[in-house]
Structure 1
Amino acid sequence: MPIDLTLIHWVYVLFIALVILFMILRKDTTILCIIGIFFIAFTATGSVTASIISIFTSFVYAISELLPTILIISMIVAMSNSLMKTGINEVIIAPFTKFIRSPDTGFWIIGLLMLLISWFFWPTPAVALLGAVLVPVAIRAGLPAIGAAMAMNLFGHGIALSGDFVIQAAPKLTADAAGIAVQDVIHASLPLVAVMGISTTLVAFIQLKIDMKKGKLSSSSLVSTNRQENKIDTSLSFRTKQIFAILIPLFFAIDIFFLFFYHLQGGDATALIGGTAIIILFLIALISYKGKGLEKTTQFLMEGFQFGFKVFSPVIPIAAFFYLGDAGFSKIIGDYLPHTSNGIVNDLGASLASLVPLTKEMGAVTMTVIGAITGLDGSGFSGISLAGSIAKIFSHSLSGGTAVLTALGQVAAIWVGGGTLIPWALIPAAAICDVDPFELARRNLIPVCFGLLVITIVAVFLL
């Protein structure tokens, strides 16, 4: 059934276009997004007062949605700071220097390990597990911090999450909407995920190497800019550091066992990693600082929270704007969309589908565009049910290809919104590597767009 687009939809589209333009021009989009929230709310309510209130309400909603990610980043940073202050990190990372000896090995080892762990536990816990240990080693080997962030992001939030072969949350959603078996979607997505992953990471790696060779990534970009390694301020014996260097990986290994044994996924997995980081921090502070352990624990926690909210603060207004495209609209502004609406971005995707002439080529292109549009809310998962539904409709006209179209929409949605292009979706990797999330999104843009183009062409031949 065609979706009736309202003025609210078109105002949202206008500001989306402006945000993309500002990002291309490397302009800050924070104020633009705040203005966008106001005008969308005013278009819906006609009230200046309600529109002003909606700005604040949208911030509250965005913070509540982002809070688990803010907390895990804050806890990992707090623990990392304690490791650096005590010198324990030097002992922990020493064995890995034998494997990561160059920027090339750093990029691919971090990426492949991120892929493997993300398949089982999803990307955010994987970022937390790898970030504190491998990223410092790779940076010392000459890999720019932005390169480490790209590897973690593309392999984790891109390849692993878009296929979701182990946990299977994404293919389950799309398969149910398309009315086909989960295994059909997984089977159809295998070549698409593989081609997308290979093409995207290769282009990203080549771009990185070219920029390093040209000197665009200066020596200052090889180290974290906001969190410099501080001087060691304790006199722990080397033996004590060795004990911690064994216990800390052991604690996280036990976490991995619990994740498997209790089937913990997503938010639960992230919470387990975060809680373990707090316990490790507490033990390090108590043993390293003797009678000042309690005060040092609080100090490290404060540093972690300061870092977490500092990194997320410019992202919150932007996230607040994009959340209006999904379920956040009714919670922020109210029930002003038509009763048939499934959210602004889903309405736009469905409307686009109803306007497209159905050939294999147009069907594939449309599914990629719809997937990308529904990913604009930054979750990647909210719109994949729509992708499955539209794939089912398209397949009737094309006499088949439901699974391929479904998988194509799923991959496009998650690569964009899950995410490698939406700044707040890729913040975990950006924060752990201490790089600008907007710069990371810009560097991902060409590789991801190239990958989407390639898999669209591949999908045409698979239909």
Structure 2
Amino acid sequence: MTVTLTTAHWLFLFWVGVVIVVMGLRKDPLIPCILGLLTVGWLFKQSFVGGITSIFNALIVAGNEFWGIIVVISLIVSLSKLLSETGADYLVMSPAARLMVNPDIAFWVIGIAMLLASWFFWPSPATALVGAIMFPVAIRAGLPAMGAAMAMNLFGHGIGLSTDYVIQGAPTITAKAAGFTNPSPVIAASIPLALTMGLVTTIAAYIIIKKDMAANPQAHTAEKEAILGKEVTREINWVSYFLAVLTPLAFALNVVAMWVLKLRGGDATALLGATAVLILALGSMLKYGWEGLEKITGFVRDGFMFGIKIFAPVIIIGGFFFLGKGELAQTILDSKAATGFLEDFGIALSQAVPLNKVFVALVSLATGIVVGLDGSGFSPLPLVGSVAATFGKAIEIDKATLAALGQIAGVWTGGGTIIPWGLIPVAAITGVNPIDLARKNFIPVVLGFIATTIVAIILM
């Protein structure tokens, strides 16, 4: 297959380069993306008005692609706010907190609790939940604050956000950009990569913390004394216990239903979202009676404010990078003659330069890391998915594995494990310096990237 690279192709590539540079400078790339849509649309359609309409078309296309996941995340966050107000969150977490009898167990328990909470409630709400309830207990068990921060961060914003197996936000965005109709291929391909990344990073972090504790065993006495007596106390009643049982049971049944009924993509999202909103409605009425008719509005409003805050920039970034994919480019540019600009570059590159698995894996990894430097875990996903689609058409590789590798690189970087400006939530709730936390995470995460890239090359 031969492709002809037009001026519009090179203009698009120029704006891709600008976006990557801007993100590497830790600036938001929305204006370059908007200008890219305007100029590429203008040049392709030979009409300034056509360029303007391309901007809006791109936002609509991206919004339609992402809307389902925006809604489910917003509803999950709304539910987490109800659980916090009723004290059900405390009841759910307290059994795990009681397991933390020494620093070794505390590291893994607080990390796994953060992972599970992140899968079901998203990492940001999970940070507040786990941090408020389990962090003081971990300190009392002898785990340093930095150790707790590393565990929460690596398991939550690292493993949890980069896999996102329950809510499926990250794999949905990556899969759409890579050309899959649902996230299942990316999810399946990510499992061995996520296991590698998770095991290497958390074990390395655990070893680092153990060495720090052995080098200065008295250093954490002041921490324990400072936090002493600060356990979270909640007003608990029968509604709290009811929701504490109902919520995890309902979501566990959701996971079973997804497995048994083979629900994927939109169907899985619909099941989770509907379950969350039903529990939210029931819990609001049980807790507040008739006032629940008003209270639920506040919960939903807060949840959607969170969801839109997270996804608003991703919609614009995604709209621009969707020009790289054929069928979406046709919709954005309103022309059947449009082709995927990135896909065409991939084919042209494969004809000019002998591509191989090692090269494309390193490109995907580097793309995820560089674009993730802006501090947003989801900003890299449209691009890494497009890169996977590009190389998937150019050479014989498993593009789902390539997309999963880029997703892991982007989210672990931008989601907040090795850049200080992405570590503020965990640092704030644990009281550690975000720069120090980034330094501690750096070696484990880099080791994880190396091991995961090797596994990806083998599997591709």
Distance in structure 2 (CA, Å) of the matches to 1:23 and 1:209: 35
Range that drifts further, 94-103 or 193-202: 193-202
Distance 1:30 1:420, change over 3 A: same
Q: Which amino acid aligns with 1:7?
A: T
Distance 1:22 1:460, change over 3 A: closer
- Tell me by how many angstroms 1:207 deviates: 10
1:25 aligns with: 25
Alignment counterpart, residue 368 of structure 1, candidates 361, 373, 377: 361
Distance in structure 1 (CA, Å) of the matches to 2:23 and 2:207: 23
Distance in structure 1 (CA, Å) of the matches to 2:88 and 2:289: 16
Provide the secondary structure at the position in 1 that maps to 2:313.
Answer: coil
CA contact (8 A) 2:11 2:40 kept: yes
Q: Which amino acid aligns with 1:89?
A: D
Distance 1:283 1:52, change over 3 A: same
Distance in structure 1 (CA, Å) of the matches to 2:55 and 2:205: 36
- Tell me by how many angstroms 1:330 deviates: 1.0
Distance 1:460 1:378, change over 3 A: closer
CA contact (8 A) 1:345 1:374 kept: no
What does 1:280-319 align with in structure 2 at a 5 Å threshold? 280-319=279-318
Distance 1:91 1:56, change over 3 A: same
CA contact (8 A) 1:54 1:333 kept: yes
- Tell me by how many angstroms 1:278 deviates: 0.8
Q: Which amino acid aligns with 2:112?
A: I
State the identity as a percent. 30
Provide the secondary structure at the position in 2 that maps to 1:313.
Answer: helix
- Tell me by how many angstroms 1:75 deviates: 0.3
CA contact (8 A) 2:350 2:395 kept: no
Distance 1:197 1:422, change over 3 A: closer
Distance in structure 2 (CA, Å) of the matches to 1:318 and 1:138: 32
Distance 1:13 1:448, change over 3 A: farther
Distance 1:446 1:264, change over 3 A: farther
2:402 aligns with: 412
Q: Which amino acid aligns with 1:366?
A: F
Unaligned runs of 5+ in 1: 115-123, 177-181, 211-218, 220-229, 393-405
Tell whether 2:54 aligns with 1:51. no
What does 1:58-457 align with in structure 2 at a 5 Å threshold? 58-99=58-99, 104-105=107-108, 108-110=111-113, 126-128=119-121, 136-138=129-131, 140-141=134-135, 148=152, 150-152=154-156, 154-155=158-159, 158=162, 195=196, 198-199=199-200, 238-326=237-325, 327-335=327-335, 341=339, 343-357=340-354, 363-368=356-361, 378=382, 387=391, 390-392=394-396, 406-407=397-398, 409-416=399-406, 418=407, 420-421=409-410
Provide the secondary structure at the position in 2 that maps to 1:3.
Answer: coil
Distance 1:281 1:457, change over 3 A: closer
CA contact (8 A) 1:62 1:320 kept: yes
Distance in structure 2 (CA, Å) of the matches to 1:207 and 1:17: 37
- Tell me by how many angstroms 1:34 deviates: 0.9
- Tell me by how many angstroms 1:276 deviates: 0.9
Q: Which amino acid aligns with 1:414?
A: A
1:370-407 CA distances to partner (integer Å, 9 max, x unpaired)? Answer: 75699866286677576556444xxxxxxxxxxxxx34
Distance in structure 2 (CA, Å) of the matches to 1:335 and 1:446: 48
Distance in structure 2 (CA, Å) of the matches to 1:203 and 1:2: 47
Distance in structure 1 (CA, Å) of the matches to 2:13 and 2:201: 27
- Tell me by how many angstroms 1:270 deviates: 2.1
1:396 aligns with: none
CA contact (8 A) 1:371 1:410 kept: no
Taking structure 1 as the reference length, what is the TM-score of the superposition?
0.66
2:430 aligns with: none
Taking structure 2 as the reference length, what is the TM-score of the superposition?
0.66
CA contact (8 A) 2:62 2:319 kept: yes
Distance 1:452 1:277, change over 3 A: same
Distance in structure 2 (CA, Å) of the matches to 1:459 and 1:88: 41
Distance 1:24 1:130, change over 3 A: closer
- Tell me by how many angstroms 1:299 deviates: 2.4
1:208-263 CA distances to partner (integer Å, 9 max, x unpaired)? Answer: 999xxxxxxxx9xxxxxxxxxx997xxx7533322321222222222233223322
1:415-434 CA distances to partner (integer Å, 9 max, x unpaired)? Answer: 22x455279x979xx99x97
Aligned residue-pair number = 387
- Tell me by how many angstroms 1:310 deviates: 2.4
CA contact (8 A) 1:157 1:420 kept: no
1:403 aligns with: none
Unaligned runs of 5+ in 2: 136-144, 212-222, 224-231, 369-379, 427-433
- Tell me by how many angstroms 1:277 deviates: 0.9
Alpha-carbon RMSD across the aligned residues, in angstroms, is: 4.9
2:8 aligns with: 8
2:42 aligns with: 42
Distance in structure 1 (CA, Å) of the matches to 2:149 and 2:270: 26
- Tell me by how many angstroms 1:49 deviates: 0.8
Q: Which amino acid aligns with 2:159?
A: F
Provide the secondary structure at the position in 2 that maps to 1:247.
Answer: helix
Q: Which amino acid aligns with 1:10?
A: W
Distance in structure 1 (CA, Å) of the matches to 2:23 and 2:210: 23
- Tell me by how many angstroms 1:354 deviates: 1.8
CA contact (8 A) 1:45 1:336 kept: no
Distance 1:269 1:90, change over 3 A: same
Distance 1:3 1:434, change over 3 A: farther
Distance in structure 1 (CA, Å) of the matches to 2:450 and 2:199: 13
CA contact (8 A) 1:79 1:278 kept: yes
Q: Which amino acid aligns with 2:313?
A: P
Distance 1:388 1:32, change over 3 A: closer
